[in-house]
């Protein structure tokens, strides 16, 4: 990749790079992966989004609503009573250390209820601080099949899910999962030698 193409990939929109270099947008997306370019850190994409938003705003301002339509929308908003169910706005407010202390110790929804922040805000803050999500326990590889009342054991290896069988009890399914997991680890170790 020469300097001009690299600059275009980093600062131009996908549509512009695709047009001027005669490649598909999928190719441009793959080129952008190497330098870590995304839609949010790209000036060309920002310009296109801003232009589209301004165009939509201009079109919305040109549209005249009739008095009946305005009244219909006003009544609809009153009937929905969204202000009663909307979460408190907490974006940009400083967080207390006690609020950060609960992150990862319980599910994000529970932490949101406890701290008064939104679920998305709690999740984003946890990820920002690098705190892993809450897990009540390690995965056992066993899941109940409600239709049959039995337990199924499954193992994922390199993205492929293997069904190990169904069992009468959870313990049997977990045992089958652990045995298959150890077998798989031994096979991988043999291949490395």
- Per residue in 45-71, pLDDT (tens digit) is 778 888 888 998 888 888 888 889 989
Residue 35 shares a structural domain with residue 77: yes
Contact 111, 121 (CB under 8 A): no
Structure confidence by residue, pLDDT tens digits, 107-155: 888 988 888 888 888 888 888 888 888 876 655 778 888 888 898 988 8
Q: Encode pLDDT of 143-187 as tens digits.
A: 888 888 898 988 888 888 888 888 988 888 888 888 888 888 778
Domain shared by 4 and 76, yes or no: yes
**Is 96 in the same domain as 66?**
no
Q: What six digits make up the tokens of 115?
A: 């701290």
Distance (Å, whole) CA 81 – CA 150: 46
Say whether both 3 and 65 belong to one domain: yes
DSSP conformational letter for 40? T
In a domain, 34, yes or no: yes
Are both 16 and 66 inside the same structural domain? yes
Range of the domain at 167: 142-192
Contacts 24+ apart (CB under 8 A), 169-174: 170/140, 170/142, 170/144, 173/140, 173/141, 173/142, 173/143, 174/140, 174/141, 174/142
Q: Is residue 118 part of a domain?
A: yes
Q: How confident is the model at residue 36 (pLDDT cuts 50, 70, 90)?
A: confident
Q: Is the CB of residue 125 less than 8 Å from the CB of residue 95? A: yes
State how many domains the chain has. 3
Are residues 95 and 61 part of one domain? Answer: no
Q: Is residue 134 part of a domain?
A: no
Summarised one tens digit per residue, pLDDT across range 69-114 is: 989 989 998 999 887 777 666 667 778 888 888 888 888 889 888 8
Contact 154, 161 (CB under 8 A): yes
Residue 133 lies in a domain: no
């Amino acid at each position: 990749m020469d300097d001009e193409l690299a600059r275009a990939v980093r600062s131009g929109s996908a549509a512009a790079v695709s047009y001027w270099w005669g490649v598909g947008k999928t190719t441009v997306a793959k080129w952008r992966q190497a330098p870590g370019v995304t839609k949010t850190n790209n000036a060309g994409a920002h310009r296109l989004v801003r232009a589209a938003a301004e165009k939509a705003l201009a079109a919305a301002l040109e549209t005249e609503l009739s008095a009946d339509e305005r009244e219909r929308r006003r009544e609809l908003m009153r009937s929905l009573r969204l202000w009663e169910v909307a979460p408190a706005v907490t974006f940009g407010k400083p967080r207390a250390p006690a609020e950060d202390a609960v992150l990862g110790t319980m599910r994000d929804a529970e932490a949101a209820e406890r701290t008064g922040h939104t679920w998305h805000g709690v999740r984003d803050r946890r990820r920002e601080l690098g705190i892993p999500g809450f897990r009540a326990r390690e995965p056992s590889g066993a899941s109940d099949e409600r239709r049959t009342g039995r337990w199924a054991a499954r193992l994922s290896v390199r993205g492929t899910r293997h069904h190990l069988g169904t069992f009468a009890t959870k313990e049997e399914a977990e045992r089958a999962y652990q045995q298959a997991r150890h077998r798989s680890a031994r096979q991988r170790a043999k291949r490395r030698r």
